[in-house]
Amino acid sequence: MPVKVLLPTVLQRLTNNEVEVQAEGGTVREVVDDLERRYPGLKERLCDETGRLRRFVNIYVNNEDIRHLANEETPLKEGDEVSVVPSIAGGASPPGAQRE
Amino acid sequence: MSCVRGLRCKECGRDYPIAAVYVCEFCFGPLEVQYNYEQAAQSMTRDAIAARPRNLWRYRELLPLDGEPTDGLQSGFTPFIRAHNLARELGVRDLYIKNDGVNFPTLSYKDRVVPVAIAKAKELGFDTVGCASTGNLANAVAAHGARAGLRRYIFIPTGLEAGKVMGTLVYQPTLVAVEGNYDDVNRLCSEITNKYHWAFVNVNMRPYYTEGAKTYGFEVGEQLGWRAPDNLVCPVAGGTILPKIWKSFHELERLGLIPSVRTRMFAAQAATCAPVVTAVHRGSDIIPPMKPAPLAESVDTSLRIGNPADGPYVVQAVRQSDGWAEMATNEEIIAAMQLLARTEGIWTETAGGTTLAVAKKLIEQGRIRRDETTVICITGNGLKTLEAVRERLGKPIPIAATLAAFEERVLGA
Ligand SMILES: Cc1ncc(COP(=O)(O)O)c(C=O)c1O
Ligand SMILES: [Zn+2]
């Protein structure tokens, strides 16, 4: 499932300064794994050791916060837009905490 | 003479040089300005401060600028008044209002944070500034940016009060009304920041911008006769000002300018959008993003942020200080706006109504003790939210221009 991913400046060093990249996956989790294949090192920026999204990472699918959807399991369809935004632009939850 | 050492990640402690960066590359945590306090203490004495101009740069050792400030020279140092009438009405002994509703030039606390962000943006070489705003910030960026000769892209949600929209447009920035609420605007501004080399005051300038909010607390400390209050009640939207006031008291203490801080910090939000209050009540550090109640059901729009950037730091300051958080209903907000006007002659906007309504509630709950010193943070001006009170104020008495009409219609003779 090809989707478009928007990345924040702090990650663009890993993507040759690309702001918008393509990735594949049927869920947000799969897209994160695919990004890691394409841009090694990217996943550890987004996720902690247990594979959960970090406290200060917000992800939006078609402009909706995935915490209002199905979190990392949010399903994706072709052409969806996934945006990764530092939580400075919105709230945060502590490490390991439930992302409600 | 700058006392700035650099930036540090608030979460993992990694250090970064001063630049237009705002999150940690490794953990995405927010970055905060670090100072050399020993150096600051040498020049920042009570006498030295007293001799300085009455503006926000009075405390400049603890603000993140390298050169001489040229922005906001009339901003800050707002009135601090002992509110005798309101104190009597609420049944407390020692009550103060810090009134940023008359901050210069755009009548809100945002006249503190914006000059600092704009001054820093100029030092970093930007020619364009922007912001995501619930209204007051838009006014401040439009005005301060105009004077600084910068291009301005300002983003607000649709449906704001006319006063806030016109109070931005008059300075002729590019004003963009985004479909959706503030949280949508904020996300969009983050995405724009990634692509365009602009200084968004509350996105990539955020480490500098937020430091400007400390000046509210520095002034409270100084105006109270160099001490911190027992209680402070503060409105919360994105969560900038409350933790920065808390920080400012500790910085004053660290420099030996005030005795040790025992202040309890109280957070105020409107019931129509209260993610931080909800977290405090649940005893949780987690602030689940919340969808605000529909605009048509919300008297307040200034504090209408469902996904507050610095919400976790508000919860932390409230907890560390043994404070609390409460919310106010639409009715309570409007009643409190009228109460402040009637008792102290101060017309505040809905954010101020929220704060006073919450203060009243906390006093009734016994969480704010009646014999202690309490500061209520009034951060905005009532002229910007006419819509909130329009139907509540009655009408002037219409009469013909004759003495008889006056006596009959007004005096009821
Ligand atoms: C009048 C007024 N007071 C207080 C605030 C609180 O802001 P924050 O919690 O983001 O510092 C705002 C935010 O827009 C405001 O407009
Ligand atoms: Zn970090």
pLDDT tens digits, residue range B274-283? 999 999 999 9
End-to-end alpha-carbon separation of chain A, Å?
Answer: 26
CB B140 within 8 A of CB B111: yes
Look at B312 and A92 and tell me if their CB atoms are within 8 Å. Answer: yes
Ligand that lies nearest to the alpha carbon of residue B241, given by its number in the listed order: 1
Q: Is the shortest distance between the CB of B302 and ligand 1 below 6 Å?
A: yes
Q: Give CA–CA dist B103/B78, Å, rounded.
A: 6
Q: What is the pLDDT of residue B411?
A: 96
For ligand 1, pick from B202, B247, B346, B379 the residue to mutate: most ligand atoms within 8 Å of CB: B379
| Confidence check: pLDDT of A63 > 70 | yes
Q: Give CA–CA dist B28/A10, Å, rounded.
A: 8
Q: Write down the residue that tokens 């947000």 correspond to.
A: A28
Q: Give CA–CA dist B183/B305, Å, rounded.
A: 6
CB B217 within 8 A of CB B257: no
CB neighbours of B408 closer than 8 A, spacing ≥ 6? none
- Which residues face B30 on adjacent strands? B23
| Confidence check: pLDDT of A87 > 90 | no
| A90-99 pLDDT tens trace | 444 443 333 3
Other CB atoms within a 10 A radius of the CB of residue A36 amount to 18
CB B312 within 8 A of CB A91: yes
Look at A60 and B187 and tell me if their CB atoms are within 8 Å. Answer: yes
Look at B288 and A10 and tell me if their CB atoms are within 8 Å. Answer: no
Per DSSP bridges, beta strands B264-270 and B174-178 are: unpaired
DSSP assignment letter at B134: S
The Cα angle at residue B204 between residues B186 and B150, in degrees rounded to 5: 95
Structural domain boundaries in chain A: 2-86
Q: What is the pLDDT of residue A95?
A: 38
Q: How far is A26 from chain B (nearest CA, A)?
A: 23
Q: Is the shortest distance between the CB of B380 and ligand 1 below 6 Å?
A: yes
Using CB atoms, pick whichever of A9, A89, A100 lies closest to residue B186: A89
Q: Is B256 exposed, middle or buried (0-12, 13-18, 19+ CB in 10 A)?
A: exposed
Considering the four listed CATH numbers 3.40.640.10, 3.40.630.30, 2.60.40.1080, 3.10.20.30, the one that applies to the domain covering A2-86 is 3.10.20.30
Q: At B397, list the tokens.
A: 């008495």
Which residues of chain B fall short of a pLDDT of 50? none
Domains located in chain B, CATH noted: 80-106+211-388 (3.40.50.1100)
A43 touches chain B (CB under 8 A): no
CB B265 within 8 A of CB B246: yes
Other CB atoms within a 10 A radius of the CB of residue A18 amount to 13
A4 touches chain B (CB under 8 A): no
Q: Of A74, A22, A86, which Cα lies nearest the Cα of B30?
A: A86
CB A89 within 8 A of CB B186: yes
Alpha carbon distances (Å) from A92 to A53, B13, B164, B259, B306 = 11, 18, 29, 34, 12
Q: Write down the residue that tokens 């006392």 correspond to.
A: B3
Q: How far is B33 from chain A (nearest CA, A)?
A: 15
Alpha carbon distances (Å) from A9 to A52, B28, B124 = 21, 11, 17
Q: Is the shortest distance between the CB of B145 and ligand 1 below 6 Å?
A: no
Q: Is A29 exposed, middle or buried (0-12, 13-18, 19+ CB in 10 A)?
A: middle
Q: Is the shortest distance between the CB of B351 and ligand 1 below 6 Å?
A: yes
Other CB atoms within a 10 A radius of the CB of residue B43 amount to 12
Residue from A7, A56, A60 to probe the interface with B (highest B Cβ count within 10 Å): A56
Q: What is the pLDDT of residue B1?
A: 65
Q: Give CA–CA dist B237/B276, Å, rounded.
A: 9
Q: At B357, list the tokens.
A: 């309504």
Alpha carbon distances (Å) from A83 to A28, A92, B276 = 10, 16, 25
CB B355 within 8 A of CB B376: yes
Confidence check on the interface: ipTM exceeds 0.85, yes or no: yes
pLDDT band at A22 (very low <50, low <70, confident <90, very high): very high
Per DSSP bridges, beta strands A64-65 and A57-61 are: antiparallel
| Nearest atom, ligand 1, residue B113 CA | 11
Radius of gyration of chain B, Cα coordinates, nearest whole angstrom:
21
Q: What is the pLDDT of residue A94?
A: 42
Q: Is the shortest distance between the CB of B240 and ligand 1 below 6 Å?
A: yes
Sheet holding B174-178, edge to edge: B174-178, B151-157, B128-132, B199-200
What is the Cα B68 distance to its own chain's centre?
24
Q: How far is B171 from chain A (nearest CA, A)?
A: 26
Q: Give CA–CA dist B338/B98, Å, rounded.
A: 17
